[in-house]
Chains A and B, each alone.
Chain A
């Protein structure tokens, strides 16, 4: 479904920028969960942002396609309407816009794009209540401005709530586990597990293996310095947890610590 081919990306900055991704290849099929792990600064979040269409990156070469559609040629809202969803590492606070109004607008934009009827206030409310129950999100968070005054955990839960509401085909979770205590981690993971099925796919970007105890991946990729240096099954995550990243980054000098 998602194909990333020889992707090279520079980040734009005043001093001329810097190459962050140096030839990424990735194939994600329907029904699969892929974990992308790696040390800080390896390019994990850049990959997530580039898939979602964030500004500030220069794609020097390569391609990213979703079911054959060229994602790089689409703006962020078009990607979202085609089913790409990014759960933000740092969800943005939007004063003055209630969570419910925001989601109704977003959902109806996506439905309109798909040729589906827009939901009226009643139908939307019913649908929302269902999803709120599923993700365990309280009424007070729904009527408050988007993410404003939310705790770290509430913000992440709100991202998963949006995931459930918008039902994308490809969910990219960027460090969704950061800043969560174990209870919040379980709630968030549960939301993702309820979401995953044969008709969608999930990319979990994370520094730690911890989240993968709850969202069990089919594939694990290790990203180091802009390249995927190792891919494997879920057992690779355990290995990383045990040995750290060093044995992959410097295979010659790393000592066994088993």
Chain B
């Protein structure tokens, strides 16, 4: 399919879906979708001419006729392999984008905590999400527009004031069906009240070797004095397309921490944005991508300091092998109002092959005068001096390189306090790096 046909295909699908709706077509929520499809018609899919997509060509994904998968039956064992051993998790499971109650499990939580599928919320209590979905993640490109236009399934997490969710919530997305190229468009909404705590793992996996498209959007509101942690883990097959948009908005004295770990996928684009929207917020963005073959991983981040006395820490690291390609674009915005901002950004990558490439662009836009901002980018090969140092102590060359690459990568997890999760992520890195 070419670009024009693809665009028309999705618009036609929207009309077909709308026609099949009973009553829902006139709901307030559907108005949001309708606006989004109009926007999609105008925006279309981004091309290289779009500054934000200069290094990531999505043309390849327009060649596919993606279809919707079915809620195929999976055995308990098939799902268990994706759980994090030893971690008592609340599970929200989606198979081909469809909520799977049989594999999902939510522990008994404090009163008022809502952890449900979006589809269920829209059916039973749409007022819970109305006024929130689409409010934080503005439509800036065709992918967000498309996700919003088809927003139907995903995870809704609502935490009232003074509540802490027991154990991690693991949103597990498994996609794939033999002979089909599947599209899923998860739409997640996470709202926390004051003094709340929630830790979320979002993971993506492939069931088959076919190329699929995941186009996800998550909106997160971090309430006053609240802590939200998100671990986003991408392990799909090497032919898959994965587009993600995460937008967090922080309230006063809140802390938001986001880890983006990209191990799989063929073409991956992550837009991870935070808005520090009140005083004394801390925003932490950590990212790790390990690529090989012809993988293309693009991380765009935006840290928007809108108010005074906030701090942000950003650290992204990549290890690129073979002819894989990385893109890092890290924007830090310090608005006029945001005095006493402390923003730190670091972005490092190791190229293991002469065919691997990375395009990196740190962008600092500072409109306040009393701020501390720093950024550093370092792209390079393994440090020869360090390799020699290890070898001079009897450690073989290959072993020495492995030790150094692992250390470089795992450094990103140093701040993870939960030992089981820390160990799990370390092990995934070991497995991928060999």
Listed in ascending order, the chain A residues whose CB lies under 8 Å from chain B are 52-55, 75-77, 79-81, 85-86, 88, 91-97, 102-103, 105-107, 109-110, 113, 145-146, 162, 166
Residues of chain B within 8 A (CB-CB) of A162 are 393
3 pairs of A and B residues whose beta carbons are closest in the complex: A96-B407, A80-B394, A106-B393
Bound Cα distance A232, B400 (Å): 40
A106 touches B395 (CB 8 A): yes
A92 touches B389 (CB 8 A): yes
B384 touches A77 (CB 8 A): no
Residues of chain B within 8 A (CB-CB) of A166 are 393-394
Listed in ascending order, the chain B residues whose CB lies under 8 Å from chain A are 383-386, 388-397, 399-400, 403-404, 406-408, 410-411
Bound Cα distance A18, B77 (Å): 65
Distance (Å) between the CB of A241 and the closest chain B CB? Answer: 31
Q: Looking at the complex, which one of B392, B403, B407, B408 makes contact with A80 (CB distance below 8 Å)?
A: B392
Distance (Å) between the CB of B319 and the closest chain A CB? Answer: 13
Give the most central of B390, B396, B408: most A CB within 10 Å: B390
Known: A55-B384, A77-B397, A105-B403. A95 touches B408 (CB 8 A): yes
A97 touches B404 (CB 8 A): yes
Total contacts A-B at CB 8 Å: 77
Bound Cα distance A103, B393 (Å): 8
Q: Looking at the complex, which one of B386, B394, B396, B410 makes contact with A94 (CB distance below 8 Å)?
A: B386
Q: Looking at the complex, which one of A55, A76, A97 makes contact with B407 (CB distance below 8 Å)?
A: A97
Question: What residue of chain B has the Cβ atom nearest to residue A84's Cβ?
Answer: B392
Interchain Cβ contacts under 8 Å between A and B, 15 examples: A77-B392, A77-B395, A80-B393, A81-B394, A86-B392, A88-B392, A95-B408, A102-B390, A106-B393, A106-B395, A107-B394, A109-B394, A109-B396, A110-B394, A146-B389
Residues of chain A within 8 A (CB-CB) of B383 are 92
Residues of chain B within 8 A (CB-CB) of A86 are 392
Bound Cα distance A53, B400 (Å): 15
Question: What residue of chain A has the Cβ atom nearest to residue B383's Cβ?
Answer: A92
B390 touches A94 (CB 8 A): yes
Distance (Å) between the CB of B413 and the closest chain A CB? Answer: 10
Bound Cα distance A162, B403 (Å): 18
Distance (Å) between the CB of A115 and the closest chain B CB? Answer: 14
B411 touches A95 (CB 8 A): yes
Give the most central of A55, A75, A95: most B CB within 10 Å: A95
Q: Looking at the complex, which one of B386, B395, B406 makes contact with A109 (CB distance below 8 Å)?
A: B395
Residues of chain A within 8 A (CB-CB) of B404 are 94, 97
A95 touches B392 (CB 8 A): no
A113 touches B394 (CB 8 A): yes
Distance (Å) between the CB of A254 and the closest chain B CB? Answer: 38
Bound Cα distance A94, B388 (Å): 11
Residues of chain B within 8 A (CB-CB) of A109 are 393-396, 399
Residues of chain A within 8 A (CB-CB) of B392 are 52-54, 76-77, 79-80, 85-86, 88
A80 touches B389 (CB 8 A): no
Give the most central of B386, B388, B392, B410: most A CB within 10 Å: B392
Question: What residue of chain A has the Cβ atom nearest to residue B414's Cβ?
Answer: A96
A96 touches B408 (CB 8 A): yes
A75 touches B391 (CB 8 A): yes
Question: What residue of chain B has the Cβ atom nearest to residue A87's Cβ?
Answer: B392
Bound Cα distance A76, B399 (Å): 13
Known: A94-B386, A94-B407. A105 touches B391 (CB 8 A): no
Bound Cα distance A226, B392 (Å): 24
A88 touches B391 (CB 8 A): no
B386 touches A92 (CB 8 A): yes
Distance (Å) between the CB of A114 and the closest chain B CB? Answer: 10
B411 touches A102 (CB 8 A): no
Residues of chain A within 8 A (CB-CB) of B411 are 95-96
Bound Cα distance A80, B407 (Å): 23
Q: Looking at the complex, which one of A55, A81, A95, A102 makes contact with B388 (CB distance below 8 Å)?
A: A55
Question: What residue of chain A has the Cβ atom nearest to residue B410's Cβ?
Answer: A96
Residues of chain A within 8 A (CB-CB) of B390 are 94, 102, 106
Distance (Å) between the CB of A97 and the closest chain B CB? Answer: 5
Distance (Å) between the CB of B434 and the closest chain A CB? Answer: 17
Question: What residue of chain B has the Cβ atom nearest to residue A91's Cβ?
Answer: B389
- What would 4 more interface pairs be, CB under 8 Å, given A102-B390, A113-B394, A146-B389? A80-B394, A86-B392, A94-B386, A106-B394
Distance (Å) between the CB of B286 and the closest chain A CB? Answer: 14
Bound Cα distance A97, B388 (Å): 15
Bound Cα distance A107, B392 (Å): 12
Question: What residue of chain A has the Cβ atom nearest to residue B405's Cβ?
Answer: A96
